[in-house]
Amino acid sequence: MKKIINDPDRFVDEFIEGILLAHPDKLKAPGDDNRILVRADAPVAGRVGIVTGGGSGHLPLFKGYVGTGLCSGVAIGNVFSSPSSEQVFEATKAVNGGAGVLYLYGNYGGDVLNFDLAADMAELEDIETKTVLGTDDVASQPKERKSDRRGVAGIFFAYKCAGAAAERGDSLDEVAAIAQAAVDNTGTMGIGLSPTILPAAGKPTFELPDGEMEIGIGIHGEPGIHRGALESADEIADRLTGPIFEDLGLASGDRVAVLVNGLGATPLEELYVLYRRVAQIAADAGVTIEKNYVGEYATSLEMAGASISVLKLDDERLALLNAPADSPFFREV
């Protein structure tokens, strides 16, 4: 696998340096550690801060959603590795405007451990924190174990809703409740067509023979729920969308937002082919798509594949999705 890199061990630090150089009007590193990024105007006095974080390799996930109307800061780990508790704590202090800080990140063991440790450190500094975990991966656990599910691309909806609530001045309890409601009403399913290659290792994270696909695969290559011959785009969309609609209990008259996400090596044209079928499925079910997003929102380096996320809407969640937002990788006016 050919990659445009220098020293593999410097890959994360060098792409972060590039982000900071490219977007000095939107992001800054508040201290000496460039693995901690915050919005350029942080901290915002009187506003709830939102800190996210996780491993590198998923741009624009995590660090790409730091900005106005989104997250306030991020702690960045190595590729597919958690940031440290100290990094999360430093990000917490850097975004604390006096109204508390929400931790909003994906449900992965290392991240949970280090964010929890950071919360303990924040408490010693009299910074109130609350935690909401992204748990949208329908394939990773059955509905009765939803709290154990992985967090994948659908966390974007929680970022958008919680970020808009914080921007308008909601309290920490209110922002956390809005984030949790977004998580509770979101489902995601993904498909993998080829593995990713870790820069430092130079070898695939998993094996998938030519001509095969894996349904329900995780963004780190975690095993899915079905592996078999590659099917048509419509058949793939059916496999992904059906379980989400069932999990969310969608019925005629419901309203949703849909995200069709590329995992890093899938052409945008193919994502629109998937969206075409999702729109047909929704129409046939009497479900109205009020908002759609098509593109790369949560990747896995150069993995070929896609995911579909659905958020069940009410008037408030739709208004929060429509609120202004601005980051290096996402803008809503």
Q: What amino acid positions are annotated as catalytic residues?
A: 58, 220
Residue at 14: amino acid letter: E
3-state DSSP call for residue 327?
coil
What stretch of H or E contains 227?
Answer: strand 226-229
Q: Which tokens belong to 61?
A: 């996930």
What's CA 83's distance to the chain center, in Å?
Answer: 16
Q: What share of the chain is helix, strand, coil (3-state, %, to 5)?
A: 35, 25, 40
The residues, ordered by sequence, that sit 6+ positions from 235 with a Cβ below 8 Å of its Cβ are: none
DSSP state of 126: T
Q: How far apart are CA 88 and CA 135, in angstroms?
A: 20
Q: How far apart are CA 325 and CA 333, in angstroms?
A: 7
How large is the greatest C-alpha to C-alpha distance in the chain, in angstroms? Answer: 55
134 and 152 Cβ atoms separated by less than 8 Å = yes
DSSP state of 82: P
Alpha helices (runs of H) in the chain, residue ranges in sequence order: 11-22, 85-95, 109-124, 155-167, 172-184, 233-248, 268-284, 315-322
What stretch of H or E contains 312?
Answer: strand 305-312
DSSP state of 8: G
323 and 168 Cβ atoms separated by less than 8 Å = yes
Burial group, residue 270, by CB count within 10 angstroms (0-12, 13-18, 19+):
middle
Q: Which of 44, 45, 62 is nearest to 53 (CA)?
A: 62
